[in-house]
Amino acid sequence: MKFHLTFFFFFTIILIGYSQENKSTAASNVSIIEKQFLISELNTISHKIWVYLPPNYKTSTKKFPVIYMHDAQNLFDAKTSYAGEWKVDEILNEIYKKTNKGFIVVGVENGGEERINEYTPWEHKKYGGGKGDIYINFIVKTLKPYIDANYQTKPQQKHTSLIGSSLGGLISYYGGLKHPSVFGKIGALSTSFWFSDEVIKFTKENGKINNQKLYLLVGGKEGENMEMDTKKMEKLLLETGFKKRNLKTNINPEGKHNEAFWSGEFSTVISWLYNIK
């Protein structure tokens, strides 16, 4: 009997732990919209769109800035995340509580095995890719008009940002500079500048921007090349004509290439891009 009770207790603890691990951690002001989007020229995957609304959204007549982000599975919910969530909802709820500043976040789910194709503007000899321009055009020409038509948004360039990490940082960097009239703010975190040397030519052609803000983040423990590439792009941007006051490069010596690092820096990124004191 003692053995059976012990086994039952142990098995119950395992079930509780499993249940907690698989419990949604998304805040109540996060939802997945019913409409799904098929980007026909990109792939055959129907992309789910997550939307975070500020705590006062339902009781306010205000319009809000919009932050477009990638890898939506990892932004709000530990249950759907690959290796931990960013806690974007909790962080922005806290910013609202302290400053009364609210944001709408639109997160686009990645296409799983198609992620490299979606988030890379150029091809890589080993890893393929190169359909990022189609993905960005979807955000600019299809998704943003839909969001602006159905939500209380501030649609102007100065209120609209594009933020991502790793390959998501690369596509944010590319998409932001490619469409400066749409995105006034760019967050390129742990950006995979290594993916293609084409980024150098692209920066020289598109880096002279007068009315955008760009936040570059890299961790000291992501590898020497990541830090070196980020510094190189910062230098190239300034040489090209990007205004120094609108460019912020943050090198965190302890930063690693993971969601915990990006989550820990997200509040700082948003505060700088939107001048939150």
**Helices and strands: H and E segment counts in the chain:** 9, 10
Proportion of the chain above pLDDT 90, given as a percent: 84
265 has pLDDT over 70? yes
Q: Which of 1-5, 114-118, 193-197 has the lowest mean pLDDT?
A: 1-5
Looking at per-residue pLDDT, the higher value among 4 and 132 belongs to 132
Fold held by 29-273:
Rossmann fold (3.40.50)
Confidence bin at 46 (pLDDT 50/70/90): confident
4 has pLDDT over 90? no
Across 47-63, average pLDDT: 96
Confidence bin at 21 (pLDDT 50/70/90): low
Q: Which of 1-5, 15-19, 38-42 has the lowest mean pLDDT?
A: 15-19
For residue 95, which of 266, 247, 249 has the smallest C-alpha distance? 266
For residue 50, which of 69, 65, 63 has the smallest C-alpha distance? 69
Quick check: pTM over 0.85?
yes
What residue segments make up the domains of the chain, in order of their start?
29-273
How far is the C-alpha of 31 from the C-alpha of 46, rounded, in Å? 17
- Consecutive H or E run containing 247: strand 247-252
6 has pLDDT over 50? no
238 has pLDDT over 60? yes
Across 21-36, average pLDDT: 90
Confidence bin at 14 (pLDDT 50/70/90): very low
Question: Token match 């997550």: residue?
Answer: 50
Across 202-226, average pLDDT: 94
43 has pLDDT over 90? no
* pLDDT of res. 119: 97
- Consecutive H or E run containing 104: strand 104-108
274 has pLDDT over 60? yes
* pLDDT of res. 16: 38
198 has pLDDT over 90? yes
Contact by Cβ (8 Å): 49, 66 = no
* pLDDT of res. 150: 98
DSSP string spanning 19-86? HHHTS----TTEEE-S--EE-TTT-S-EE-EEEE--TTGGG----B-EEEES-GGGTS-TTT-SS---
